Structure 1
Amino acid sequence: MRRLARCRMLLAAAAATTLAGVAAGSSGPVAAADHGRGSGTLDKNAEVEVIAEGLYSPRSLTWGPGGRLLVSETGTPPLTAPSECNMVSEEIVFEMKCFGHTGSVADITNGEPKRIVENLPSALNLQDMIGPNGLAYSQGRLYTLQAGSPQSLPTDAWLSDGLRNKLKPYVGTLLDVTDPKKPRVAARPGAADYEYINENPDPTPDFDVTNPYSLTPKKGGGFYYVDAAANVLGEIDRWGNVEILTSFPLSQAGSDAVPTCVAQGPDRAVYVGELTGHGNTGEEGAKAAKVYRYEPWSGDLEVWQRGFSAITGCGFGKNGDFYVTQFTSTGFLPSPDDDGGSVIQIGRDGTRTELGKGKLFFPHGFLAGPDGSIYVTNKSLWWPPGTTGDWDKGEVVKIG
């Protein structure tokens, strides 16, 4: 399995074992900030509090206008006609099977989800939902990053022309949803990524699926984003132009890894976490994932931190500490003895602290709080298939 469009659907829950500290390189934020732990660093016994529940496959978080707390939801299984849902198992079993418009954005500021944007493109792939993955509020506008690309929509007879025509303008886009009644396409990263992997087959040989997955506002305007199928880091400028900046190595023990989170650091470098591919299990798999550091000014890409399980979220805290959301503790696919996900805090002196152990289940996105606390989407999907028929069990938790 090569990409998240196929493997992310099997993400697992886990509690990561406390990891030995690996200090950041001299060019990273450890060097850029004062050494030491500092104000805002969380203790391993930091409280984990559920602040919102009843969410539909929650993914990313952002602070909206007036400090509102917003979350993207990839939705519930689309209630399309049988002819528009192909659930037949194939050799490649993780291909998208069922399409619809069940994605949304919810305001959870008061603890009760209020869906402020609805009817976003979504798809069911076995037990996982994909749709509006990334979420960002920048320069007074609210944006979602939609999975897929127009080119990779199925052309088989089982997807009706009517549904395909409704989805095609919006899949794989950076969508401005500030006015939920009039969503506007701000950029088309999915289409750009599709063209890139066909023009440059080395990063993704024999693979033509894209999955724009995570984005972060760029200092000065625009966005950085990662595609967890095309395996690239890209930039979207203020006018919607898309540029592919770099691709990530394919090789990983067992199977390829994919980029799943992106954050710009205090040093203006770009940091990217990865989800390891199928086959990265057990003791080695639990330490196979890496965080990369990319320098926009030089084009240099290097491994910044090692030794993580499956990464699905990352970012910097108020005081400059770096956080990694681990979807599992036993790598990917999950082990039967996986006991819940966790968050790894990397202090500015390189010290690692595991947060939320034993209290998280399939954690996903990450958001820093203004008071030094952090927020994580939880119960973002269910595994194994058949575990539950309930799709409204997603949560957001506050740690700190």
Structure 2
Amino acid sequence: MLIRRRIGRRSVLSTAVGIAALAAGSLVNAGAAQADPSVSIRPVLGGLAAPRGIVFDARGSMYVSESGVAGSGPAGLTHTGKVDKFTWGSTTPAWTKEFNSLYATEDPSAPPDVLGPEGLSVVPNGCKEDPRACRVLMITSESTPGIRAATGGSVVDRQAGHLYRLDGNTGAAESKSNVGSQMYQWTGDHSSLFPDDFPDSNPYGVLVTKGAGRARTFVADAGANTISEIMPGGNARVVSYIPNEDFGAFRDATPTCIAQGPDGYLYVGTLDFVSNLFVPPGTGGFSSVWRVNPNANYPTAPTKWATGLTTITGCTFDRQGNFWAAEMFAGGLGANPPGDIVQIPFAHPTAQAHFGLGQLPVPGGIAQGPDGAMYVTVGSSAPGVSGGVMRVSVNH
């Protein structure tokens, strides 16, 4: 069905969405859990609808994507997806740009799942010196043909699976690539890789890199399991296919995010939803971070860089070269609330430091702010407008 194959194998995630709804209620009590005294966690924003992507531009402005809220009926579209810009220190949006939001009900006893605007990345092009140069890229979920096929033609979303460039000053959006439809076609042509699920596409993570004098754009597709580079003109070049795990109940890696390491390679986090939460004891440790050569071409295989993480939904490197990831359901479905973030030193990928379990309900994205703290979207898989942004400061 519609969203069951996407970020999180949604037929099972409908159960988790109910847990997420309970977890979102913990936002107002986010400081209630016993915290490490060297870690400060506090709310920055609230009242967001399934916030997922987060990023800061060179002037310190924060951008947040909201996947939106569901409408009536078993499946359909609302126009509640958003990207919001907040200038540094402000809790009132400088602008808000609306997008489509797709919803589908897998379990009538649970809230519908919602997908819309997802990953964000800034374009490194002189924004700090000239505010008119500020640009942000945003990726939307799913694909037009995939949604149409899954709903028997009843839902048509022409924004699905598009890569948009947003003007940092006005929010004006321009589609730069229909990567979702391209990956839906690619997985149809490579259905032997995942015969039970392909064709499929769900673009979820985006990253703009700069090296050798030019910016490059990469997309992680949580449905196609591909990492692709968006070329001038909008064509997607498949760089790598993230392999499914050889264990667990369902075998679906589900890449969700991309970060550029100090070595210039791409580091890709995976969700591995079913294996983390529904393979006994169901408390995680099955997600990985894959190292991908940005200049490779499929079928060049990626290499595994780090393991032992849980349901990665967002990742980044800080300015000291540490890898950070948001773990949406860390602690398992029995945690109240689930969710955590993890730091991994680049030189020691087997070392992990966790901050925020019990205080960061179902996190989605993570980014380092201009003040050096990490900012995390929370309530990212909860219904309604119960999500927000938390600030995490670690004093070593």
TM-score range, shorter chain: 0.7 to 0.9
CA distance in 2, matches of 1:157, 1:242: 27
1:28-39 alignment runs, 5 A limit: none
Residue type at the aligned position of 1:67: G
CA deviation vs aligned residue, 1:85-132 (integer Å, no higher than 9, x gap): 4x2xxxxxxxxx222221111123444242724331211133332101
SS in 2 for 1:254: coil
Indicate the residue corresponding to 1:184 in structure 2: 174
Q: Secondary structure at the match of 2:313?
A: strand
- Taking only the aligned residue pairs, the percentage that are identical comes to 27
Match of 2:274 in 1: 278
Q: Mean alpha-carbon deviation: is it higher for 54-63 or for 342-351?
A: 342-351
Q: Could you say which residue in structure 2 is the equivalent of 1:101?
A: 79
Tell me if structure 1 keeps the 8 A contact 2:202–2:221: yes
Letter in 1 for 2:380: S
Q: CA deviation at 1:237?
A: 2.6
In the alignment, the residues of structure 2 paired with residue 100 and residue 327 of structure 1 have an alpha-carbon distance, to the nearest angstrom, of 24
Does the aligned pair in 1 maintain the 2:145–2:181 contact within 8 Å? yes
Partner Cα separation in structure 2 for residue 233 and residue 142 of structure 1: 19
- Check 1:292–1:348 CA distance in 2 against 1; reply closer, same or farther (3 A cut): closer
Aligned length: 342
Select which of 36, 43, 49 maps to 2:42: 49
Q: Residue 378 in 1 paired to residue 356 in 2?
A: no
- The C-alpha deviation readout for 1:50-103, integer Å capped at 9, x for no partner, is 11111111001112363211100011123xxx6xx4x2xxxxxxxxx2222211
Indicate the SS of the match to 2:377.
Answer: strand
Deviations 1:196-241 (CA, angstroms, capped at 9, x unpaired): 1011112231422311000111222121110001111111134422
Q: Which residue of structure 1 lines up, in the alignment, with residue 388 of structure 2?
A: 395
Matched, 1:159 2:178: no
- Aligned with residue 56 of structure 2, among 53, 56, 63: 63
Match of 2:208 in 1: 217
Which of residues 114, 118, 121 in structure 1 aligns to 2:93?
114
> What TM-score does the superposition give when structure 1 sets the normalisation length?
0.78
Deviation at 1:180, TM superposition (A): 5.9
TM-score, with length taken from structure 2: 0.79
Post-superposition offset of 1:303: 0.7
Whole-angstrom distance in 2 between the partners of 1:180 and 1:144:
15
Structure 2 distance, partners of 1:265, 1:371, is 21
Q: 1:248 to 1:320 in 2, by over 3 A?
A: same
Deviation at 1:259, TM superposition (A): 0.5
* 5+ long unaligned stretches in structure 2: 24-35, 106-110, 126-133
Distance 1:236 1:197, change over 3 A: same
SS in structure 2 opposite 1:222?
strand
Residue of structure 2 equivalent to 1:259: 255
Q: Which residue of 1 aligns with 2:357?
A: 357
Shift of 1:157: 7.0
Task: Specify the SS of the correspondent of 2:192.
Answer: coil
> Which amino acid is the alignment partner of residue 276 of structure 1?
D
CA shift in 2, pair 1:323/1:44, >3 Å: farther
Question: Which sections of structure 1, spanning at least 5 residues, go unmatched?
Answer: 16-42, 88-96, 383-389
Contact 2:60 2:369 in 1 (8 A): no
Structure 1 residues 158, 174: CA separation in 2 closer, same or farther (over 3 Å shift)?
Answer: closer
Whether 2:284 is the aligned partner of 1:294: answer no
Amino acid corresponding to residue 356 of structure 1 in structure 2: G
- Equivalent position amino acid for 2:140 in 1: Q
